[in-house]
Structure 1
């Protein structure tokens, strides 16, 4: 039976809220499809007259957007626009420049952070042989976006709007280039009120904002294999493909395990971002703003925390912190 006070997870979120350079936070937890906890802290910015964080507050979710990108990739695979995760990216992109650099790099490598490509001073370089290690680099999303558009003739945002946001009435989730008072400031990113804001709305950029309650709804769709109120609204095969471990075999067992961008727990790898108390089969996505979506299928939990921070303050261990969040959820549901 769950705790009625949620002391562990509230303490975890409050501790992170106090540690980060931020002004607002949110916490939403569902268990067995029932809302168990919805709590908000602080304001949208440090301005004296700033709006209080509330249910319709939209947070910049940074890399949490990759859970939506994952849907687009799985959609393209399921419908045959992309034939296989093991197809080389050169099959779908011309990349005539530095063709040898990309040779041997597959879509599987891109979506599991095992591609070994990095960008320095505007030039793409190879950091390690594709499939031999793991490194979190942003180039993979740019390449995947191009592949999605080339193969499906739609952008990532087109696919999500057509298949998810519009039919399911997700009105607080999208890529945005205009902002109103429901959007938080991203604290700590000087001279840029909306971190990584872009006029581009195709889904390839980091200008994605989501309310905590709608991010939890997105998690519930995954937990319920695409079912909503007893009706199948998304193809369960697409969601399963995205959240099943897909990374290549690593000789280093400490490296994280990934589905399509999602972190998935199959073992307690030392570099996993999922807490030790969280059971295998759970999957999670984390953003640089510390926004986190955790799904634990074995006990029917969806947990979301959100902050309006930018990056990690000195001395902050983001892996330790995000693991503590998952462990705190488990302590309240032991």
Structure 2
């Protein structure tokens, strides 16, 4: 291992211990080449297989980047006429008084102000575009919309347009546990939990991805939709997914988003990326610990995996996310 990567690997291992994760991995692509590949730990706490390149982690909310690409496709294909379309144009069954002037833009940037109660009732917490809140209802709505527009779940759309052309076979929403799936640690004193779901439609958090394929997913975006010199995804689709679309009136402390991606422009208090990360970088994370960071200025993609749910240590999780991205940026700064 080159010395330049030692600090980043050390950080990943230290957080693994601090957070009591049983597993960790780190893969870095620079100029389309693997420059670091690191695996450690086991699939669960007790009597488990070691982590290898074949291990597939539950990536939780990282799945939003996959849905976001489908939303960008729908706009590119004309299935959605524009990002500022009111969602009332697409959903006849939602209370018009609640959804009001909510747009596609609001849903993909977490500025919609909607929430869903346990009984399924839709409520409003703030007016669209006035603030920012990380909720799950926008994922449910956008997944349903893509399904309605294309007549198939967005997962199948991805399989057709991306996964098959790229040869992905370690990226899917799993419904049955198998040996290559890493279990999710909730309580470090107990064995990890099965994180598979009941459907393959992408609404549940049951996406499992190998570290290699997660990095390749990020590299597809870095290369503006090209894979092996072939244009797999139209460049306009990638650019639409990774440009900032957050309404400018949203308070400056909140993060900015593309289509669910966190996109870095300048240091923000509630951003997930540190102040030393170049503008134009973008990132997606999950509650189980994965991070996919793309730094176009350095032509770098970094995929990090853990399998422990909830925040690290005794500090706010944003502290650790910013620290990781800053160390990553420092590693490649000339």
Q: TM-score, structure 1 length as denominator?
A: 0.95
Q: Quote how far apart the aligned CAs of 1:106 are.
A: 0.6
What's the secondary structure of 2:256's corresponding residue?
coil
Q: Which residue of 2 aligns with 1:115?
A: 112
Whether 1:169 aligns to 2:167 is yes
- Maintained 8 Å contact 1:283/1:294: yes
Q: Quote how far apart the aligned CAs of 1:166 are.
A: 1.5
What's the secondary structure of 2:14's corresponding residue?
helix
> More deviation in 243-252 or 61-70?
243-252
Q: Report the count of equivalent residues.
A: 330
- Maintained 8 Å contact 1:244/1:264: yes
Q: Deviations over 1:55-78 (max 9, x none)?
A: 010000000011100111101110
Q: Quote how far apart the aligned CAs of 1:191 are.
A: 8.8
Q: Quote how far apart the aligned CAs of 1:322 are.
A: 1.0
Q: Deviations over 1:235-273 (max 9, x none)?
A: 111111100001111252111100000000111111110
Q: For residues 44-55 of structure 1, what are the structure 2 equivalents within 5 Å?
A: 44-48=43-47, 50-55=48-53
What's the secondary structure of 1:68's corresponding residue?
helix
- Maintained 8 Å contact 1:93/1:146: no
CA distance in 2, matches of 1:251, 1:193: 38
Whether 1:142 aligns to 2:122 is no
What's the secondary structure of 2:131's corresponding residue?
coil
Q: Deviations over 1:22-76 (max 9, x none)?
A: 100000001111111000110000112x100000100000000111001111011
Whether 1:284 aligns to 2:290 is no
Whether 1:106 aligns to 2:103 is yes
Q: For residues 183-332 of structure 1, what are the structure 2 equivalents within 5 Å?
A: 183-188=181-186, 193-195=193-195, 197-312=196-311, 315-332=314-331
Distance 1:78 1:34, change over 3 A: same
Q: Quote how far apart the aligned CAs of 1:99 are.
A: 2.2
CA distance in 1, matches of 2:18, 2:296: 30
Distance 1:192 1:22, change over 3 A: closer
- Maintained 8 Å contact 2:18/2:313: no
CA distance in 1, matches of 2:194, 2:238: 30
Distance 1:92 1:105, change over 3 A: same
CA distance in 1, matches of 2:250, 2:243: 20
CA distance in 2, matches of 1:251, 1:287: 23
Q: Which residue of 1 aligns with 2:152?
A: 154
Q: TM-score, structure 2 length as denominator?
A: 0.95
- Maintained 8 Å contact 1:3/1:332: no
Gap regions ≥5 residues in structure 1: none
What's the secondary structure of 2:302's corresponding residue?
strand
Gap regions ≥5 residues in structure 2: none
Q: Alpha carbon RMSD of aligned pairs, Å?
A: 1.6
CA distance in 1, matches of 2:261, 2:182: 25
CA distance in 2, matches of 1:313, 1:328: 17
